Structure 1
């Protein structure tokens, strides 16, 4: 009695269904912001609504994009693939979000992922054919969902693929001091030294704001672009309209560092508060200030202090910059993708390639954390 229907707008699904299905992860507010940001040149969004006897019980956000294979396969294999144009990019239908670190399907209490994976995969395969998509991918799902995906892979022939891991810090009671005490001694020493050295370069003022004005948005977007250009892994390219839209959401908190002497914004971090969990989603840094200021670590200090002040007990920080995150005590959160190519031959080729993908092949910095 399980059926799947497709909607292409957030508003086509009742808000109470969204709110009941998504509680402690990015939900309606997040997809509204993405949908309203003018990202159609990169993504085609749609939402699979799973119904049980005609009643909506789950929502699976999806998007279609052309994925450069060099982003996900080891460099040696990427060079071989680049010789063959059909293999350079794959038009892919993902379950998940282009900017979320862990895949999630929102569902009502009493249901589990195992209840939906088979009909949902069949609906994905039909949509992939209708939208001329080569591959379907369940993007970045965690260890708790592995039994459901093992059963799905056996039933429908999907192959698993290791993904960039997420990162997480558990915050103890007692604020920043207790957090410091929980770090390994060498990490605690280095962090305290960097914070001290950073302050010696010039004082910064700290503020945590919601709904920043247009002038502030322009400044922080400029810093975001600087950080984006320095990043090694680029999955999506966000525009300033996204920041305008996400700034309207009550879950969004911007941690701002401004130079005390000039009043200029030099760094920001955007965090989402979801109950006792917070997600450190985007940062921007003025690299002209100099590495000696250690702005990332000053931002992190303020993020921990803010999180502790609002009752947050876990702080998630995404899938990149592993070296810096290791220094401040992050743990890795294993994530996996589950894939199916419509072409049987290419399905076998990509399945063989997926077996060679490891954390180290994705990012050498992970060798120090694994």
Structure 2
């Protein structure tokens, strides 16, 4: 409908006596002509049409829908009395604001309090052995003095599980991932200030270097909505437990692409370690040995001979074979020897972890043990899962390393323990990059996401983030290529 406005000139012609008839035209007729002229002028030059702004749609977590105006931020629902929070933003068509209510969730502080059925609904299909409740129980028991744990199950409106994860609080070294120059400078400062740049951090994960993450997401989950929910929970836990930083760790490239939505929540991306895996269904160590080049097979034979000449023996055990009794404090010191030489020292694994790993996972835990004169001088522990084997930690007496090549023997024998029929990948972990590439491993750069709690603290973190963390894209590791002259017929290999 177009509204007509009568010009003043037209009004002057009709403001006389309504009953008068100037020029034989009645007042009503003059009024009609004036409206017609005004309507024609407005049609030729119409005013700018301003459509009403789209109303903002608030979707309350209590399933109440209402229209309201508001700022683009996380805020309580202004329409209903609701203590829950909701996040809002533009809808996919850009026609208005749509709310994304956070997922409901259960939070337990002990493995024994977890809803086991809901946990398995999501985690069983992920194939992640580090979400096995028995493994998490081993971590919880062994780290009881150093860490706190929370276990989260996110659910949709129908009550279905959409994700499971573990949060933990742990004291870490702030320059863990910093370049060597920065680390040397901080080491000098810590001679006078031992706790400098050491702080509690809230991890989405566990305080154990598994070269893997502890987050399982169902296929039907809304990842953007889920990550916003996890961020909200993490901030609340960090504030309650006094953690200035939050970190989601450690994601391989194919998962990190999906986790990049954390950047929308203020997280900063950084590169973690390079994780190595030997892929291929070899069936046995002999099958793997046959695929190696002539020079590599020669080195393997030389390594094995050195072990025998040094008078060392090797045995393979599973957790049920009394490993918890074998793992004494003296054996644990072998692990500490390796930790002292490590470039990246994220955590110090307590002796109780190895014992609990054997107790909680008696059939899945694997231990390769080296002895000299009946004394344990080296070990490697691993975890077997569906069609995969994970090598976790090792320890050795470095006084025997030069004569027996003990470190290389531990890796080869641990690899042999993992390569069995049905296993398609053996995950060997990080470090020793050049050696692992030479034995045929593929490397994947892992990603972490870090966020400071509080606006001022997060601003300061941004200023120094590039100094404390590696933010450069990871180089693509190349497998060592061998020429055809390196290979020989299988009969010759078997004879050797």
TM value normalised by structure 2: 0.66
| Alpha-carbon spacing, 1:281–1:58, altered in 2? closer, same or farther (3 Å) | same
**Of 316, 320, 335, which aligns to 2:446?**
335
What are the residue-to-residue correspondences of 1:238-277 with 2, within 5 Å? 238-248=349-359, 249-250=361-362, 251-259=364-372, 262-277=373-388
Cα pair 1:359 1:367 within 8 Å, conserved: no
Name 1:306's counterpart in structure 2.
417
Partner of 1:22: 123
> Structure 1 residues 275-284 or 302-311, which shifts more?
302-311
Match of residue 68 from structure 1: 173
8 Å CA contact 2:277, 2:442 repeated in 1? yes
Distance 1:348 1:256 in 2: 46
Q: May I ask how many residue pairs the two structures share in their alignment?
A: 361
1:96 paired to 2:205: yes
Residue 76 of structure 1 aligns to a residue whose secondary structure is helix
Q: Deviations over 1:346-369 (max 9, x none)?
A: 2312433367555999xxxx9999
Which segments of 5 or more consecutive residues in structure 1 lack a partner in the other structure? Answer: none
Unpaired stretches in structure 2, ≥5 consecutive residues: 1-100, 481-496
SS of residue paired to 2:337: helix
Report the counterpart of residue 429 of structure 2 in structure 1. 318
Give the stretch that moved more between structures: 50-59 or 89-98: 50-59
Q: Please say which structure displays the higher CA radius of gyration.
A: 2
CA distance in 2, matches of 1:243, 1:359: 35
Secondary structure, counterpart of 1:236 in structure 2: coil
Q: Verify: 1:189 aligned to 2:304, yes or no.
A: no
1:353 is aligned to 2:480:
no
Equivalent residue, structure 1, for 2:288: 179
Deviation at 1:137, TM superposition (A): 0.8
With over 3 angstroms needed to count, the CA separation of the structure-2 counterparts of 1:217 and 1:87, relative to structure 1, is closer
Query: Aligned in 2, Cα 1:200/1:316: closer, same or farther, shift over 3 Å?
Result: same
- Go from structure 1 to structure 2 and tell me whether the alpha carbon gap of 1:307 and 1:81 turns closer, same or farther (over 3 Å shift): closer
Offset, 1:115 = 5.2
SS, match of residue 233 in structure 1: coil
State the SS of the aligned residue for 2:419. Answer: helix
- The reply on whether 1:51 has 2:158 as its aligned counterpart is no
Which stretch shifts more, 265-274 or 45-54? Answer: 45-54
Give the conservation status (yes or no) of the 8 Å contact 1:8–1:47: yes
Look up the SS of the partner of 2:203 in the other structure: strand
CA distance in 2, matches of 1:32, 1:107: 21
Cα distance in 2 for residues equivalent to 1:207 and 1:149: 38
Cα distance, 1:147 vs structure 2: 2.7
Secondary structure, in 3 states, of the residue corresponding to 2:175?
helix
Q: Secondary structure at the match of 1:35?
A: helix
Deviations 1:21-63 (A, max 9, x none): 33322121111001112x2442222122211123433211111
Q: Give the root-mean-square deviation of aligned CA atoms.
A: 3.0
d(CA) in 2 for partners of 1:360, 1:59: 29
Matches within 5 A, 1:88-127: 88-99=197-208, 100-108=210-218, 110-111=220-221, 113-114=223-224, 116-127=226-237
